[in-house]
Structure 1
């Protein structure tokens, strides 16, 4: 079960990272670069939130296991 959760998290990070790279690559040559930078900012924030959520989940699991 834990393995599945970690695999899902890694998949999420890989997808968000790929989308982020794509937006960053498009921005310099786009007609409206700020649109791509804004999207990149949103993706980066989502990536950070996903990592924070996972960190919280792991801390809660550790706390439950310590009981």
Structure 2
């Protein structure tokens, strides 16, 4: 996939998707000077990101319950 297709799949901007690639969050390969991303790697990233987000939401819910705010 191209970086634009990857961005569309993740519903983020193309520059942000490139930052994810360059930071190593998502694997990619170069075809000439163009970055290409495998769908499997995008799917794995999205799954990891969803798990982290759910964990953070669960932590916040637990904290608000402890403080009697929920």
- TM-score between both structures, scaled by the size of structure 2: 0.50
Between the two structures, name the one with larger relative contact order (CA 8 Å, sep ≥ 6).
1
**Where does residue 59 of structure 1 map in the other structure?**
64
Which structure has greater strand proportion? 2
Which structure has greater helix proportion? 1
**Where does residue 12 of structure 1 map in the other structure?**
none
Taking only aligned residues, the RMSD between alpha carbons, in angstroms, comes to: 2.6
Secondary structure of the equivalent of 1:59? helix
Would the aligned equivalents of 1:23 and 1:40 in 2 still touch at CA under 8 Å?
A: yes
Aligned pairs, number: 42
